[in-house]
Amino acid sequence: MMPKFSLKNKVAIITGGGSGIGKAISKTFAAQGAFVHILDFNKKNGSTTVREIQENKHLAKFHFCDVSNQKSVVNVIQDIRKENRIDILVNNAGIAHIGNIENTEEADLDRLYSINIKGVYHCIKACIGHFKNQKKGVILNMASIASSVGIDDRFAYSMTKGAVLTMTYSVAKDYVHDGIRCNCISPARVHTPFVDGFIKENYPDNIDAVFDKLSKTQPIGRMGKPDEIANLALYLCSDEAGFITGTDFPIDGGFIKLNG
C-alpha cells in the first residue's frame, strides 16, 4: 500500500527552489519520491540544494532560469520535457519590497511585476498545454496574506501577490475540466535567511528586539517555519488532495482571522 502523501514517480518543477521556502519544498518533495527540477536564478543556491537532495539518495536537477524572461522559461521547460513528463508545478519564485505608494518608484513596480506576476504567468503558460494533453496536472502558487488583507508598507508586494491569488482562481476555473488543479498558499511571515538578512541590514543594533517584534506579528507568537509551508505544499500537490482546486490556503499563525 502506497504511504499517504507519496510523490513517488511524480515529476515536480519548483521555481526559486534553491533557498528559503522553495528549498524546503524541494527537499520535502524529493524525500517523498518526486524527481525535483529546481529552477532558480541563483546558481549557487540551486546547485547546493540539488547536491543536498542527491546526498540523501533522492532525485533532483538544477536549471538556471530567469522566470521573468519567457524565453528562458520556455527553453527550460522544453529541456525537462525531453527527459520527463511534468506532474507538478510550484510557482514559488518571488521578491519582496517595502514601501507605500509614495516611496515606490516605477522601477520597483516593474521589477516586482516582472518576477512575481509575469514569472508565474510564464511558468503556467509553458506547462499548461502539457497538462492538458495528459489530462492531469497540479499547479501550486505562492501567494501571501498580503493578497487578501492590508499590510503596512507593502504596496507593490501586495499588488503582485493579489494578482497571484486571482490568477490561481482564473486558472482553476478555466482548466477544471482538463484534470488540472490549481491552488495557492498564503503564508504570513516565515523565518528564512531573507528575514535574518533584512533585520541584520536594517536594524544591526537591535536584531533581537526586531526579530521578537516581527515574530509577535502573528497571534501564535512566532514566525512560520519553511518546513511547515512545505508540508502544506506536499499535501496540496499529492493525490490525497485530488478534490481541492481553486482555493487559497492561509498558513499564518492566526494573522488574518485573529488580528481584528
CATH architecture of 11-188+226-251: 3-Layer(aba) Sandwich (3.40)
Indicate whether this model's pTM tops 0.95.
Answer: yes
Grid coordinates representing 31?
524525500
- Numbered ranges of CATH 3.40.50.720 in the chain: 11-188+226-251
- Asked whether the CA dihedral 200, 203, 208, 212 is positive or negative, the reply is negative
Q: Is 157 a catalytic residue?
A: yes
- Rounded to an integer, the average pLDDT of 170-192 is 98
Read off the pLDDT of residues 188-214 as tens digits, 9 standing for 90 and up.
999 998 899 889 988 999 999 999 999
CB 188 within 8 A of CB 252: yes
pLDDT in tens, 72-93: 999 999 999 999 899 999 999 9
Supply the pLDDT for residue 260. 61
Catalytic residue among 157, 169, 175, 235: 157
Buried b (16+ CB within 10 A) or exposed e, 104-126: beeebbebbbbbbbbbbbbbbeb
pLDDT tens, position by position, 102-142: 999 999 999 999 999 999 999 999 999 999 999 999 999 99
Residue 2: pLDDT over 80? no
